[in-house]
Chains A and B, each alone.
Chain A
Amino acid sequence: MSIRRRLIVVLGACTVFTLAVMVWAPTVGSTAISLSRVFDRSVGWDSNVDAQIFFVARLPRVLAGALVGATLAAAGVVLQALLRNPLASPFTLGVSAGAALGAMLAVTTRLEFGLLGITSIPLASFAGSLAATAIVYALAASQRRGLSTNVLLLAGVTLNTFFSALILFVQYIADFAEALRAIRWMMGGLEVAGYTPIVAALPFVLLAFGAFAVLPRTLNLLSVGAEAASARGVDVAAAQRLAFFSASLATGAAVSLGGPIGFIGIVVPHLVRLLVGADHRIVLPASALFGASFLVLCDLAARTVMSPLEIPVGVVTALIGGPFFLWLLVKRS
């Protein structure tokens, strides 16, 4: 099959699946709602409980889940290719730890400022992710011309550990209730209760996906090796920079929206590769689409399985993603 036909078949199937999940997900939840009542215009908004459950409680969650899932999965693909390391994930390079540190500081110092309807915690975590990105880049670029992926990886992992230690320290000295809230944030959550946080994250995610759109061909060459890519006329340093910054920006936006939801960025890309092969022209968009539907489904499980109580979505992604991935790994080998 030609690449074009495979692209159409695979992406067509993924798109249909993702759309189906996104249409279905907001209709189910811990409460039974009537769809005809949801869209009944004759009932006023203020007295239409079904409509508020659908539009205030569920739809923003589904949209946030799709956005975060797509972003983390795509960032995972990009970073695995850039670092030529199958264990790389959006959280490998310290970006999420930086975001988490920002959020922790906002929680524990009870920062209560807002900007255009965005509250302090997402703002602080996004700032933290940008700071971490800048530090890792400065370290990796300082050695020679271009980026050293080895230094990038080591600096990222070290920064991760360092930030984690700071996070633990901040939690330790925090007030008990604040520490608990901080821990809850670390488990990830998509209950955004409104569209403002999604709209705020969207421009950064779109910017990153704009970069992702031009990357696949280069990633194919980069994943073979920098020399090989260079020999084929790729400006390796520029491509690496683009990949690094776009993946970091995407991760920062996703984490500030939904918290550090684990496993998506590593399980989804590998799953997709196992199913459709290694060509990034297919793997990248398919991972984004599958990541979106996977996280929306995980969140659906999070809000219904133990109803009326909810499970943090980060716990669900790991519980479902881990064994499923291992099963697929064993089955394929």
Chain B
Amino acid sequence: MTHLGKHPARRRSASAGLFLLTLLLAATLSAQAPKRIVSLIPAVTEMLFAIGAGPQVVAVSTYDVEPPEVRSLPTVGALVDPDTEKIISLRPDLVITYGCQTDLQAQLKSANIPFHDYRHGGLDHIMVTLRALGARTGHVDQAEKVTRSLQSRVDAVRQRVADKPRPRTLLVFGREPGSLRNIYASAGRGFLHDMLVAAGGDDVLSDIDRESAPVSTEMILARAPEVILELNSANRLNEHDLETVIDPWMKLSSVPAVKNKRVIVLLGSGLAVPGPRVAEGVEKMAKALHP
């Protein structure tokens, strides 16, 4: 720079070159940033809207309901039944697909439509995905901001519960209404497990290396969780309905969670979505586990 400083003319041309380069870079970046995104994964749709790429989204899956803006967008099928024809006819420049949609991916490839291959993973994977989407859609800064805020909220919870005893917890996310049949719970892998651990719980199924597992009453009796957290997609339940939901558990009265009235229903549809609402989920879980 000192050398350049001695020659004002050269300095000018150098800064003009830098300016041109920046312009060029910005132009190529914005040329690369997709303007017509089709998302087939509700969790990723939420992420796109969170990082400011919402206006670029032109269609979503049939299961998408959040954020409310997506409800007016056209739908193009979902995981098992993507409407390839409709997707291609929308002329997207980026399609968010799930890892197992190999047929769709092959069709997109032959139609020269770029796609982002996504799979659910752990809590960290949500952060990774947010940043990757930011880079891919031209929203690096906002993606970084959102990711950091999520991370710091989760870290804050981790810190708050760090010194507290970790209750042995069963995280249930589905069963036959009114009975204890066909119970499905989060097992030792995946974002629900990570959320539970971050919220200061000790997952009673952590030895099962799967995202979810069907659990029998025998297994629940044998593993004797101190807390049973049950996710319920309803946003609100009155006292009576809540009692009806909890009532079947009373049969397992030897389970510490039942004995000590620590079967806790967590309400809200966002809890089982590995998207930007996970911090809220972790906070809810932590509040339930460590009131």
Chain A residues close to B by CB (< 8 Å): 29-31, 45-49, 51-53, 56-58, 110, 112, 114, 119-121, 172, 175-177, 181, 184-185, 189, 191-194, 303, 308-310
B180 at the interface (CB under 8 A from A): yes
List 6 tightest A-B contacts by C-beta distance, closest first: A57-B218, A193-B180, A31-B222, A119-B178, A57-B217, A46-B253
- Give the residues in chain B near A310, CB-CB below 8 Å: 214, 216
Interface CB pairs A-B, < 8 A, 29:
A30-B218, A30-B219, A31-B218, A31-B221, A49-B221, A52-B253, A52-B254, A56-B221, A57-B216, A57-B218, A58-B218, A112-B177, A114-B178, A119-B176, A119-B177, A119-B179, A120-B177, A121-B176, A176-B63, A181-B174, A185-B182, A191-B217, A193-B217, A193-B251, A194-B179, A303-B216, A308-B208, A309-B208, A310-B216
CB-CB nearest in chain A for B175:
A181
> Taking A181-B176, A185-B182, A193-B180 as contacts, is the C-beta distance between A45 and B221 under 8 angstroms?
no
Q: Which of A31, A49, A191 is within 8 Å of B181, CB to CB?
A: A191
A46-B253, A193-B180, A193-B181 are contacts. A56–B217 as well, Cβ < 8 Å?
A: yes
Closest to A312 in B: B214
Report how far A45 CA is from B255 CA in the complex, Å: 11
Q: Are B208 and A52 in contact (CB under 8 A)?
A: no
Our pick among A53, A181, A303 for the contact of B182 (Cβ within 8 Å) is: A181
Partner of B214, one of A114, A177, A309: A309
Q: Which residues of B from 226 to 256 have beta carbons under 8 Å from A?
A: 248, 251-254
The residue on A at minimum CB distance from B213 is A309
Q: Counting CB contacts under 8 A, is B88 at the interface?
A: no
A-B CB contacts (within 8 Å), total count: 89
Instruction: Determine whether the beta carbon of A52 is less than 8 Å from that of B252.
Output: yes
Q: Does the CB pair B216–A194 fall under 8 Å?
A: no
A191 to B183, CA, bound (A): 10
A52 to B207, CA, bound (A): 23
| Residues of chain B whose beta carbon lies under 8 Å from any beta carbon of chain A | 63, 78-79, 81, 174, 176-182, 207-208, 213-214, 216-219, 221-222, 224, 248, 251-254, 259
Q: Which residues on A sit within 8 Å (CB–CB) of B180?
A: 191, 193-194
Tell me the smallest distance from the CB of B36 to a CB of chain A, in Å: 26
Q: Is the CB of A53 within 8 A of B218?
A: yes
CA distance in complex: A86, B57 (Å): 58
| Alpha-carbon gap, A310 to B218, bound state (A) | 11
Q: Which of B79, B179, B219 has the most CB of A within 10 A?
A: B179
Q: How far apart are A165's CB and chain B's nearest CB, in angstroms?
A: 16
The distance in angstroms between the C-alpha atoms of A192 and B252, with both chains bound, is: 13
**Contacting pair A49 B224 (CB below 8 A):** yes
A191's partner among B207, B208, B216 (CB-CB below 8 A) is: B216
Check A46 against B259 for contact (C-beta < 8 Å).
Answer: yes
13 further A-B contacts with Cβ under 8 Å, apart from A45-B254, A47-B259, are A30-B216, A46-B259, A48-B254, A53-B218, A56-B217, A56-B251, A110-B177, A120-B177, A172-B81, A191-B216, A193-B248, A194-B179, A308-B213
Known: A181-B174, A181-B176. A56 touches B252 (CB 8 A): yes
A310 to B217, CA, bound (A): 11
Given that A53-B222, A193-B217 are known contacts, is A177 also in contact with B251, CB under 8 Å in the complex? no
A303 to B181, CA, bound (A): 14
**A31–B216 Cα gap in the complex (Å)?**
11
List chain B residues, Cβ under 8 A from A31: 218-219, 221-222
Contact B178 A49 (CB under 8 A): no
B81 nearest CB neighbor, chain A only:
A172
Write the chain B residue with the least CB distance to A184.
B182
In the assembled complex, how far is the CB of residue A127 from the closest CB belonging to chain B, in whole angstroms?
A: 17
Q: How far is the CA of A229 from the CA of B2 in the complex (A)?
A: 116
CB proximity of A116 to chain B, nearest CB, Å: 12
CA distance A276 to B221 in the complex (A): 43
- Of the candidates A46, A57, A189, the one whose C-beta lies within 8 Å of that of B221 is A57
A57-B217, A114-B178 known; A175 and B63 CB under 8 Å? yes
Interface pair A112/B178, CB less than 8 Å apart:
yes
Residues on the A chain within 8 Å of B254, using CB: 45-49, 51-52
Indicate if the CB atoms of B182 and A30 lie closer than 8 Å: no
Residue in B63, B79, B182, B214 whose Cβ sees the most chain A Cβ within 10 Å: B182
Chain B residues contacting A192 (CB-CB under 8 Å) are 181
The answer to whether B251 and A176 touch across the interface, beta carbons within 8 angstroms, is no
Task: Report which of B174, B177, B219 forms a contact with A308, defined as CB distance below 8 A.
Answer: B219
Distance, CA A298 to CA B208, complexed state (A): 23
By beta carbon, the residue of chain B nearest A111 is B177
Contacts of A177 in B (CB 8 A): 174
Chain A residue at minimum C-beta to C-beta distance from B179: A119
Q: How far is the CB of B183 from chain A (nearest CB, A)?
A: 9
Q: Give Cα distance in the complex from A193 to B175, angstroms.
A: 12
Question: Across the interface, which residues of A come within 8 angstroms of B174, CB to CB?
Answer: 177, 181
Chain A nearest CB: distance from B230 CB in Å?
Answer: 14
Q: Which residues of B lie under 8 Å from residue A114 when comparing CB positions?
A: 178
Give the distance in Å from the alpha carbon of A92 to the alpha carbon of B257 in the complex. Answer: 45
Which residues of chain B have C-beta atoms less than 8 A from A46's C-beta?
253-254, 259
A171 to B174, CA, bound (A): 17
B208 neighbours in A (Cβ, 8 Å): 308-309
Closest residue of chain A to B208 (Cβ to Cβ) is A308
Chain A residues in 8 Å Cβ range of B251: 56, 193-194
Nearest B residue (CB) for A58: B218
- A57-B216, A194-B251 known; A189+B178 contact, CB < 8 A: no
Instruction: For A60, give the chain B residue with the smallest CB separation.
Output: B217
A191-B176 Cα distance, complex, nearest whole Å: 11
**Are the C-beta atoms of B222 and A49 separated by less than 8 Å?**
yes
Nearest chain A residue, comparing its CB with the CB of B244: A112
